Amino acid sequence: MILTIFGATGDLARRMLFPSLYHLHKQGRLPNDLEIVGFARRELSNEQFCEYLSDEFKNLYGNVFNLESWQKFCEKITYFQGDLASEADFQRLGKKLAEADTDLQSCTDKIFYLAISPDLYPQTFSGIRKSQLESICEHTKHVRVVVEKPFGKNLKSYYELNNNLIDIFDEEQIYRIDHYLGKETVKNILNFRAANPLFFNDWNKNTIDRIDVKVMESLGVGTRAEYYDEYGQMRDLVQSHGLQLLSLVMSELPDELTADKIRNSKTEILQSLYVESMENDVVRGQYGSGIIDGYPVKSYKEEHEKLVESNTETYVHIKAHSRLETWEGVEINLISGKRMQSKETSITLHFKSQERVKGIPSKNKLIFQLQPSEGITLDLQVKKPGLNELEVVPMVFKYQDNFRVLLPDAYESLLLDIFKGNKSSFISNEELEASWKFIDPILELWNTENSRPVIYPAGSKYLQIN
């Protein structure tokens, strides 16, 4: 199996992909025959490339670095100097990949991972097409392509990009990654629902009143200002991570957890979403200066000279509903922001309050906590000792307390899925199309001349929706 990473010296490859591959290597979980080809523009030898990767790795995870195993890991890696704009370089790559097959006398699996800025996708697709890398093996199932988010900038550009992609690859070859789907709590959602009858009956409008999906970060845009300013919080987080979490938690529990069934179920949710009033049910914010953890932080506009006049949103709150009868009337809140008071990613289901026994209104909440520490909490009401009053108490499950293992990083888990050809944690074309269709009208509205984000102080907890 040969994994070619385009953009091998970039941020994603260096900070996420190679460290995940090394962790897997250390645990002996990589396919035995895996070879990794790092494709990037700089002039580097194999040794220099590996050193470059190890510097970053030591920076991030110095405590788990082991020279001997790192050297073994490096034996799997070949650096390939190439330019994504050069057809000749793609041809050279094709030849190199084919050589490995000649040695083995069979066509080994080839995976092409596009760890590059979305702007470079079209030329990369064109390079792949012209050098026929997609059909480097006779059977298409031996060749896979992995694309990152955001895939497109709006519905129109998504269609254009996707047409390029499906023109080259069959759907079964395409892995659309969203790293949130690799997080342990997220992978657990359907299992948890299926394995606990308390929850699989009446997981709908009869018992659930409101669903909140929050993806909050205290970080600002940091060094990614130029990329971020073009995409904003809506495309960078809501269209992808936020909607994926929502569709997973609301999806009809399939009778088998197969990739097709899971993805169809999520598509049904995504296609059913709507916003009642664009004016009242959508908030768009941008952080001003403020204080986080006691330290002053700059406003978004001050982060980079190119942002001075920017209207890009760093905060989004959408109040939505579903057209499906099962979810009729249930309020859905998608909230995501940068430079908020603290990092918090969670999905909260608020159960309906009922008064089955006079004077005792019910109140339950189920929270899937992804960050800061992964787990599930169920809020229950109990009688306070000695008093005739109720109090809400949490029943808490934390991975670190129950399992005492280091949770696999999301990318580790997704890379293993790609190697095995398991698509259940990857986004289908239909899901992606439905996500863009849902947010496109909001983006269009924001594109109008007088539309401006509300400025909020960095360190805010949330912004008020009307």
Residues engaged in binding ligand BG6 (CB under 6 A): 217, 236-237, 345, 371
Contact 338, 220 (CB under 8 A): yes
Q: How far is the CB of 42 from ligand BG6 (least distance, A)?
A: 24
Q: How far is the CB of 203 from ligand BG6 (least distance, A)?
A: 25
**Cβ closest to ligand BG6, residue 18 vs residue 80:** 18
**Cβ closest to ligand BG6, residue 236 vs residue 433:** 236
241 flagged as catalytic: yes
Q: How far is the CB of 392 from ligand BG6 (least distance, A)?
A: 27
**Cβ closest to ligand BG6, residue 109 vs residue 178:** 178
**Cβ closest to ligand BG6, residue 251 vs residue 345:** 345
DSSP annotation of 234: I
Residue 137 has which token pair?
């093996």
Where on the phi/psi map is residue 459: left (φ > 0), alpha (ψ -120 to 50), or beta? left
Where on the phi/psi map is residue 404: left (φ > 0), alpha (ψ -120 to 50), or beta? left
| String of DSSP letters for 261-298 | HHHHHHHHHHHHEE-S-HHHHEEEEEEEEEEETTEEE-
**Cβ closest to ligand BG6, residue 5 vs residue 340:** 340
> Which residue number places its CB atom closest to ligand BG6?
236
Q: How far is the CB of 217 from ligand BG6 (least distance, A)?
A: 6
Tell me the C-alpha distance between 313 and 343, whole Å: 18
Q: How far is the CB of 63 from ligand BG6 (least distance, A)?
A: 20
Q: How far is the CB of 237 from ligand BG6 (least distance, A)?
A: 6
Q: How far is the CB of 119 from ligand BG6 (least distance, A)?
A: 15
Where on the phi/psi map is residue 281: left (φ > 0), alpha (ψ -120 to 50), or beta? alpha
**Cβ closest to ligand BG6, residue 265 vs residue 371:** 371
From first CA to last CA, the distance across the chain in angstroms is: 54
Residue 60 has which token pair?
């991030």
Q: Which residues of 190-212 are buried (b: 16+ CB within 10 A; e: fewer)?
A: bebbeeeeebeeebebebbeebb
**Cβ closest to ligand BG6, residue 89 vs residue 236:** 236
Cα 75 to chain centroid distance, Å, stands at 30
**Cβ closest to ligand BG6, residue 133 vs residue 213:** 213
Contact 349, 363 (CB under 8 A): no
Catalytic residue among 25, 179, 241, 350: 241
Tell me the C-alpha distance between 410 and 421, whole Å: 16
* Residue found by looking up tokens 């490339």 in the block: 49
Residue 183 has which token pair?
């997080």
| Residue 198, H or E segment | helix 197-200
Q: How far is the CB of 345 from ligand BG6 (least distance, A)?
A: 6
Q: What angle do CA 64, 426, 177 make, to 5 degrees?
A: 55
Contact 115, 149 (CB under 8 A): no
Contact 113, 5 (CB under 8 A): yes
Tell me the C-alpha distance between 374 and 234, whole Å: 24
Within 8 A by CB and 6+ apart from 387, the residues are none
Q: Which residue numbers are catalytic? A: 241
